[in-house]
């Protein structure tokens, strides 16, 4: 049985390979060899996705916190569904994947999780609970079925009408107070704006995103702290702690925003500049083996654990 970290490793690897196939700008490890041929990447990607689908499982019972991570509509599965939807757009035989995804969406009734609706610390705002909306909106783009997007739209409208508490302390999960949240929630608003042509979604997203960026981004380091509790923490060698996978989440979130944010948008230049700064820094921190250290800014691994390829996947997005 895959644990949550292994599942994320497989999923983020899928996303990385998808973007490698679609981009003329491959990301190669510092000092590493070139990527294998596209046909080999495609074959590997298909094998991984087919195995992941065959092994797919989730928890149907448990308390709110368990279902938040392991339920069918959890952020973990949402990330996989979104990657699989992207794969279906380039697969030679897309229909089996799309039908599988549609079946899963119907199983969830195209609804966002409601694990924390009655929990005052989180309520309807928790960013992870919005992540599945990215998948629903991707499916709407494919099928143009309004049922696929309606519950997500209602939740976003409710949040905009009743803004979250602005406190940026980590314990306040109504705001996007941890860097992973910048993957989970902002692209939902950006994609909803692209579908509805209503600027209120991007305006709200931009306000909340900048609040998080102002709080967690270190311009001097071109990296995001995981959350405010890391500001004064250091590694054994005194280095600041910037979580490798967390910065990968941010970079991947920026990709998903930029893919749907119009070039005419007044907000776009901010996200393009941030994307360039962050990914330039991440590229320089990549190890020769293609991985990042858990504390990605340290030249030598203080911790043995390394991060999966998530930080590499956003670097394939062409900016031209």
Q: Where are the alpha helices (DSSP H) in the chain?
A: 4-22, 38-54, 64-70, 75-88, 95-107, 127-130, 132-143, 147-161, 181-184, 186-196, 199-216, 244-258, 268-285
Residues 82-116 as b/e (b if ≥16 CB within 10 A, e otherwise) read bbbbbbbeebeeeeebbebbbebbeebebbbbebb
pLDDT score, position 8: 45
Domains of the chain: 4-316 (1.50.10.10)
pTM of the model: 0.87
Per-residue pLDDT of 239-284, as tens digits, reads 899 999 999 999 999 999 999 999 999 999 999 999 999 999 999 9
Model pLDDT for residues 135-175, shown as the tens digit of each residue: 999 999 999 999 999 999 999 999 999 999 999 999 999 99
């Amino acid at each position: 049985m895959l644990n949550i970290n292994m599942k994320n490793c497989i999923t983020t690897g899928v996303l990385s390979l998808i973007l490698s196939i679609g981009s003329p700008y491959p990301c190669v490890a510092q000092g590493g060899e070139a990527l294998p041929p596209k046909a080999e990447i495609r074959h590997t990607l298909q094998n991984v996705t087919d195995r992941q689908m065959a092994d797919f499982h989730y928890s149907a019972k448990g308390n709110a916190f368990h279902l938040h991570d392991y339920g069918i509509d959890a952020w973990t599965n949402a990330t996989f569904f979104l990657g699989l939807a992207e794969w279906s757009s380039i697969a030679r035989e897309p229909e089996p994947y799309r039908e599988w995804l549609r079946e899963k969406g119907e199983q969830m009734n195209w609804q966002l999780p409601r694990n924390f609706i009655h929990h005052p610390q989180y309520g309807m705002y928790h960013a992870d609970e919005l992540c599945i909306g990215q998948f629903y909106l991707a499916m709407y783009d494919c099928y143009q079925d309004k049922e696929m997007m309606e519950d997500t739209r209602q939740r976003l409208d409710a949040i905009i009408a009743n803004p979250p508490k602005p406190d940026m302390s980590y314990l306040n999960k109504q705001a996007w107070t941890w860097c992973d949240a910048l993957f989970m929630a902002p692209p939902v608003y950006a994609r909803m704006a692209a579908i509805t042509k209503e600027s209120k979604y991007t305006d709200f997203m931009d306000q909340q995103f900048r609040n998080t960026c102002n709080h967690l981004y270190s311009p001097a380091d071109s990296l995001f702290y995981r959350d405010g509790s890391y500001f004064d923490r250091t590694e054994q060698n005194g280095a600041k702690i910037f979580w490798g996978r967390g910065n990968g989440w941010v970079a991947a979130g920026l990709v998903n925003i930029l893919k749907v944010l119009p070039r005419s948008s007044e907000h776009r230049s901010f996200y393009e500049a941030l994307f360039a700064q962050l990914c330039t820094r991440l590229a320089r921190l990549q190890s020769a083996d293609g991985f990042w250290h858990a504390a990605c800014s340290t030249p030598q691994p203080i911790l043995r654990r390394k991060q999966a390829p998530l930080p590499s996947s956003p670097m394939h997005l062409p900016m031209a």
